[in-house]
Amino acid sequence: MAGRAATRTATRQDGALSPSAIRNVVLVGPSGSGKTTLVEALLAYTGVIPRAGSVTDGTTVCDHDPAAVRQQRSVGLAVASLVHEGVKINLIDTPGYGDFVGELRAGLRAADAALFVVPADATIDAATVAQWEECAAVGMPRAVVVARCDGPRADLETAIAACQDAFGAGVAPLYLPIRVGQRMTGLYGLLSRTASGPARSDDAPPRGARDARAALIEGIIEQSEDESLMERYLGGEDIELATLVADLETAVARGSFHPVVPVCSASGIGLDALLEVLVGGFPTPLEHPLPAVTGIDGAAHPALAADPDGPLAAEVVRTSADAYVGRVSLVRVFSGTLRPDTVVHVSGHHTTVPAPRAGDEPGGDGGHDADERLAHVYVPLGSTLQEVDAVVAGDIAALTKLTSAETGDTVSAADHPLLLSCWDLPEPLLPIAVVARTRGDEDALVKALSRIVAADPALHLERNAETHQTVLWCMGEAHAEVVLSRLRAGGAEVETEPVRVAMRETLASPARVVGRHVKQSGGHGQYAVCHVEFEPLPRGSGFEFVSKVVGGAVPTAFIPSVEKGIRAQLARGLSDAHHPVVDVRATLVDGKAHSVDSSDAAFQTAGGLALREAAAAAGTVALEPFDEVVVRVPDEYLGAVLGDLSGRRGRVLGTDVPAPGRSEVRAEVPCTELLRYAVDLRAMTSGAATFTRRFARYDTAPG
């Protein structure tokens, strides 16, 4: 597949790479599928490292701690680069576990094409299918690598068929394995009809090669813009190989055809074929749509192009900390050229805005802007950073010591600041309450939280004003464990505690009471008497205050004081738990005042006392928050999900069918029953279901 590659390997007049000579490829697949092993094999095959497996740090960016490196391999975004046939390929390795979908989406943002890695000795799970559909939704070109072909349980034919069944139309193998006994010794090219690898080129084609070749050619012709090809093919004409290759590469680049390539990383079989697909079939940055852009004030801006001479626009796709060089920002340059010793503008906005939750304090990062000087510009090379003179549009760079930069921020020219539209991130739905082990650890915890939240856009920090807890909303248990370990590694001794849910109270029944505040202790006294009728209101009504005082029993100036005192007592609560009181109407009907001793403070106190008297007379009812939950689930798990929601005291509002084979369940569920729902739903559906939640209302809690 070298036809399109020949037109893409240009360099600029100044010797720097052209965007046409760059490929950005994100590796996607389940944990343990062989993504990192494949990256190392490709690096060894192209001479970047001496042998596969010698990159013991998993090609992370500048990490020197072995323990941190091992963790990074499984949960972080990693970048490694190689050069093949004059084309630079940036390989972006992503975590396979579902908790780290934030890292996956960052990788998708930085890439122009996706390489799905599936094992030859395992089935394709629902989470991998969901990732495929996610790429399809944004038009990401995709190819499939069947890895671990040397495993004792490897079954390539079954794996290829499973790919076609799981991923749908447009998925077809380009090669079939050649075997000697149970060992794969080479690949048979279905288009070229030649063998590669240790197998001899005159070996007989593998079983099923004729039918597979016919299906491949028909699939390519269906994607071709030359409508005469199908007629020629059906007429028995042998279509030229160059024509088929050119049409195949075009179809792959535009995301309508997805080749499958078997690879054995240990023996190197299939690596040359895979590199041909990456270079010849995957699109250049010039062909991939770029994010929308505005001025930092929201003003419209012309669409960007991958032009090294255009306005500078780069995006921070990952932020990490290194013990030696400090903060490292991995950026994808969409437009312009990054050069050292220049001043850039760093601008950010909400990259994750979670749904409102009961008790959550308003606020957060509403946006920030700062000018910073770039001392150096690097490209990631395994575990090291290689300094360069420039990084052009379409390439990936590493910047150090950008103190204000967070993941999702835009880096642009100081005299032409821009703001790229942020990418979509899933909402973190597993709450973990953290507390400093000792008072001396509190400052360290605050600093560590600031660093981690800036680096991880899939993490939401909530400081609940009612429960007085610091809550980290994570993607799941594995994500929470990583966050806690990073907090401790940052010098913060932290512990977890049960998450408390912000409750409310209301009156159980109507009551008419007297709030009396009379004191005399020399000099001016305090005198205020108010007769108030209290009654509970329907849920969600809030607080109402009505005055029906006649004849000036309570002077007009003090009527607002009674309301103010009642409101203050509502906020303080009526029980030892100090839950705020809601959904109450207070009607001031009578009272008494003293010409000298009455005051604003006295009537405020009397109003609060009246509410407390009403609670004693009428009793109170505890109210718990309910969230509206939307669960998207394959039909095979629908019954289990509905039964589980019922067991959580949920009330199903309706069920829709957004797509064949999938259902969408809407329900209202008490928040106390949702604290671990992210974990339980994943276990119940093998990771195939997702859900969102949004605060709905307060309702009566069970006794």
421-441 tens-digit pLDDT: 988 877 899 999 999 998 888
| Residues contacting residue 474 through CB under 8 Å, at least 6 positions apart | 99, 428, 430, 431, 432, 458, 459, 480, 483
pLDDT of residue 659: 84
Token duo for residue 413: 């020219």
Condensed to tens digits (0 to 9), the pLDDT of residues 231-243 reads 888 888 888 889 9
The reply to whether the predicted model has a pTM over 0.85 is: no
pLDDT of 617 over the 80 cut: yes
CATH number for the domain harbouring residue 85: 3.40.50.300
Residues of the chain above pLDDT 90, percent:
51
Fill in the DSSP letter of residue 361.
P
Asked if the model's pLDDT at residue 635 lies above 80, the reply is: yes
**Structure confidence at residue 74 (pLDDT):** 54
Which residues of 275-325 form beta strands (DSSP E)?
293-295, 313-322
Domain that holds residue 331: 293-420
Q: Indicate if the pLDDT at residue 227 is higher than 90.
A: no
The pLDDT confidence band at residue 560, using thresholds 50, 70 and 90, is very high
Percent of the chain residues topping a pLDDT of 70: 89
pLDDT digits (tens, 9 = 90+) for 21-73: 999 999 999 888 889 899 999 999 998 888 655 543 333 333 334 334 344 44
Residue 170 lies in a domain: yes
Cβ count within 10 A of residue 26: 28
pLDDT at position 359: 47
Both 472 and 598 in a single domain? no
Whether 259 maps to a domain, the answer reads yes
Chain segment 573-607, per-residue pLDDT in tens: 987 778 999 999 999 999 999 988 899 999 999 99
Alpha carbon distances (Å) from 166 to 127, 157, 163, 171, 258: 11, 14, 5, 10, 13
Looking at 561, 583, 618, the residue that finishes a domain is 618
Residue 509 half-sphere exposure toward CB, CA atoms < 13 A = 5
Nearest to 610 by CA among 644, 577, 648, 566: 566
| Structure tokens given for 209 | 């090669």
How far is it, in rounded angstroms, from Cα 155 to Cα 118?
Answer: 12
pLDDT at residue 518, rounded to an integer: 93
Same domain flag for 548 and 406 = no
Is residue 502 domain-resident?
Answer: no
Instruction: Determine which helix (DSSP H) or strand (DSSP E) holds 138, and give its type and residue range.
Output: none
Q: Among 228, 249, 281, give the residue marking a domain's end.
A: 281
Angle ∠(656,126,74) on CA atoms, nearest 5: 130
- Tally the domains of the chain: 5
The answer to whether 106 and 122 have CB atoms below 8 angstroms apart is: no
Q: What is the pLDDT of residue 99?
A: 80
In a shared domain, residues 443 and 514? no
What pLDDT, on a 0 to 100 scale, did the predictor assign at position 69?
Answer: 38
**Confidence at 90, pLDDT banded by 50, 70, 90:** very high
Reduce the DSSP state of residue 123 to 3 states and report it. coil
Q: Give a yes or no: residue 67 inside a domain.
A: yes
Task: Specify whether 521 is located in the same domain as 599.
Answer: yes
In a domain, 499, yes or no: no
pLDDT reading at 308 higher than 70: yes
Counted residue by residue, the chain has a size of 703
The answer to whether the beta carbons of residues 407 and 399 sit under 8 Å apart is no
**CB-based contacts of 534: which residues, under 8 Å, 6+ apart?**
507, 510, 511, 512, 513, 584, 585, 586, 587, 610, 611, 614, 618
Confidence of residue 348 (pLDDT cuts 50, 70, 90): confident
What's the pLDDT score for residue 547? 95
Q: CA of 633: how far to CAs of 391, 430, 655, 661, 664, in Å?
A: 43, 18, 11, 9, 6
Number of H helices, E strands in the chain: 15, 35
- Judge if 468 and 548 occupy the same domain: no
Residues 389 and 349 in one domain: yes
In a domain, 500, yes or no: no
Mean pLDDT of 355-360: 48
Check whether residue 437 and residue 395 sit in a common domain: no
CATH of the domain at 668: 3.30.70.240
What CATH number should be reported for the domain holding residue 383? 2.40.30.10
**The pair of three-digit structure tokens given for residue 433, joined into one six-digit string:** 């309450």
**Lowest-confidence range among 73-87, 102-116, 235-249, 518-532?**
73-87
Q: Assess whether 76 and 218 both reside in one domain.
A: yes
What Å distances lie between residue 433 and 473, 474, 486, 487, 573, CA to CA?
9, 11, 15, 13, 24
Q: Given a cut of 80, is residue 351 above it in pLDDT?
A: no
**Alpha helix (H) residue ranges in 291-436:** none
> What confidence category does residue 199 fall into, taking pLDDT thresholds of 50, 70 and 90?
low
d(CA 122, CA 234): 37
Quote the pLDDT of residue 12: 53
430 — phi, psi (to 5°)?
A: -110, 110
- E strand residue ranges, 366-406: 368-374, 377-381, 384-388, 391-392, 396-400
47 with 172, same domain: the answer is: yes
Single residue among 281, 314, 342 that ends a domain in this structure: 281
Mean residue pLDDT across the chain = 86
Question: Is position 449 within any domain?
Answer: yes
**485 and 576 share one domain:** no
Query: Could you tell me if residue 288 is inside a domain?
Result: no
Q: Is the pLDDT score of 664 beyond 90?
A: yes
Lowest mean pLDDT among 162-171, 381-390, 475-484: 381-390
Query: Helix, strand, or coil here: 268?
Result: coil
**Distance, CA of 76 to CA of 58 (rounded, Å):** 10
Shared-domain flag, residues 302 and 272: no
Q: What is the pLDDT of residues 460-481, one digit of tens each?
A: 999 988 888 999 999 999 999 9
Q: In whole angstroms, what is the distance from residue 290 CA to residue 262 CA?
A: 31
Task: Please report the pLDDT score of residue 84 as a whole number.
Answer: 92
Q: Are residues 614 and 630 in the same domain?
A: no
CATH number of the structural domain spanning residue 610: 3.30.230.10
> Among the ranges 38-47, 321-330, 345-354, which has the highest mean pLDDT value?
38-47
